Amino acid sequence: MSKSTGAPSLSVVQNSPTDDAPQSGFTSEAEKELSRKFLEDGHVVVPVEDLGALDRLRDAVASGAAHWLDASTPEDPGALLDSIHARLGPTQVNDMRMSIINGLNTQDWVARDYFSVARKTIESVVGNELAMQRRLNLSVQMPGDDSSVLPVHADVWDGNSPFEVVLWVPLVDCYGTKAMFLLMPKANAQHEANFRRFSDKSVEDLFHAIEPDVIWPEVRYGEAMVFSLSLMHGNRVNFEAGTRWSFNCRFKSLFSPYGDKRLGEFFEPITIRAATRMGMDYTHLEGFDE
Amino acid sequence: MSKASQETLLSVGGSYRGYIATRPVRGDRIPHHVQGLVIRDYAQRMNLICPLLPAVEYAMPGCYMMLESVLKEVPATQGVILYSLFMLPERASRRQHMYDRVFAAGGSLHGALENIALWGHEDTGRVEDIFRVNQFAHVKPPADVAAVLDGS
């Protein structure tokens, strides 16, 4: 496993409420803090809960990259990923990315491991009866590559429900322009209030307008970020030394409203509780007359 | 269905039959040729042979006559590729009966839009979960962004 290159980022919050955590009302203090942070910042960065699962995911991606490059299995998977730009160019990176993620998405263990990376955090922020995006997405952004830039957007503009969150998990240390940018809720609301003035302007104009307010959360290997997809976010050209590799995948409460990303096509139930199963199967009695 | 068309359906050994809809699927009307493209793309990705014209279900709500015909030919075909699994009957017991028939005949069912394959009974639980939750799940499309831009 790659070692983090420094101290944990300051925005990391603890995400492991224990059974004996102080309770106040119906939620523990740790859960309250996580919720407060999510509502205030629009995101939380947390230590991963299952480092073994993250290592398996990272190693599978690195093996896929090595296979695509016709190279041997890497001894240091993190180093291979971080320096992949030394082995191929921007015109090849998307073919490699698609080959890797398409292979991973056919394997059942991948979604399970991905969820286990931040299960408690997702359950605290979203709920414990969940639908999960059926395919993980993989981003690869090499230094200086302007073909992998994801312009500023909010997923709700593309049909996602505002009840969804994104679990964003880097496979290398991400910081500066190697990370993604995000508007926090207060700034997001201010810019949305003036949104109509962009009706005849470009997405790049929009980015320049929000640029002074965006943040670039630092998320190291071994950490994960959960953020609201109703907030404007995206990435820019990576001017750091290493290549960014990150997964993203959406989660929502099973019965919160769905947008255009539907159950079956885009989402799949992953945790249906027993009482819900019983409720869904129940049929009210009929046949009585007044 | 005429005897001639039934014979046409039955002369398809070794391949999969596509199944598309005229009535809306989950509230959306999808042109036939678009449904056909989705099926062909799925078949190609899954290495399934699907060279034949798809069966087109009649428009009447609750009518599954074409699907019944397609299921009857399953012993001669490898199975059915539906444009969407949500074209299966809404009634769970009726779906279950269809699963039983297809698997007993050695065939499989596929939802091209959902990219889900049902090769046997062990795969139906996952799909039935989706059907059941979908019965109760609320859909609220995101606000129209154009309306925001218009200031309305």
Question: Tell me: the pLDDT tens digits for B10-39?
Answer: 444 579 999 999 999 998 999 999 999 999
pLDDT at A286: 87
* B109-135 residue pLDDT tens: 999 999 999 999 999 999 999 999 999
User: For the packed helices A90-104 and A51-68, what is the interaxial angle rounded to 10 degrees?
Assistant: 130
Predicted-complex ipTM score: 0.74
- Our CA-based measurement puts residue A168 at a distance from the nearest CA of chain B, in whole angstroms, of 22
Q: How far is A139 from chain B (nearest CA, A)?
A: 22
In terms of CA atoms, which chain A residue is nearest residue B127?
A264
Q: How does DSSP assign B67-128, residue by residue?
A: HHHHHHTTTTSSEEEES-GGGS-SSHHHHHHHHHHHHHTT-EEEETTTTEEE-SGGGHHHHH
State which residue of chain B sits closest to A193, comparing Cα positions: B148
**pLDDT tens column, A36-78:** 999 999 999 999 999 999 999 999 999 999 999 999 988 999 9
Residue B32 · residue B95 · CB < 8 Å:
no
The tokens 């039935």 sit on which residue?
B128
Q: Which of A254, A260, A268 comes nearest B141 by C-beta?
A: A260
More confident residue, B82 or A4: B82
Written as tens digits, the pLDDT of chain A (290 aa) is 333 343 434 456 555 544 455 556 788 999 999 999 999 999 999 999 999 999 999 999 999 999 999 999 889 999 999 999 999 988 899 999 999 999 999 999 999 999 999 999 999 999 999 999 999 999 999 999 998 899 999 999 989 999 999 999 999 999 999 999 999 999 999 999 988 888 889 999 999 999 999 999 999 999 999 999 999 999 999 999 999 999 999 999 999 999 999 999 999 999 999 999 999 999 888 888 88
What pTM, to 2 d.p., does this model score? 0.85
Inter-residue long-range contacts of B59-64, CB under 8 Å, 24+ positions, other chains counted: B59/B22, B59/B23, B60/B23, B61/B23, B64/B89, B64/B94
Contact A162, A230 (CB under 8 A): yes
Q: φ and ψ at A93, to 5 degrees?
A: -65, -35
Q: How far is A68 from chain B (nearest CA, A)?
A: 19
Does A272 contact B133 at a Cβ distance shorter than 8 Å?
A: yes
Block residue for tokens 């299952």: A50
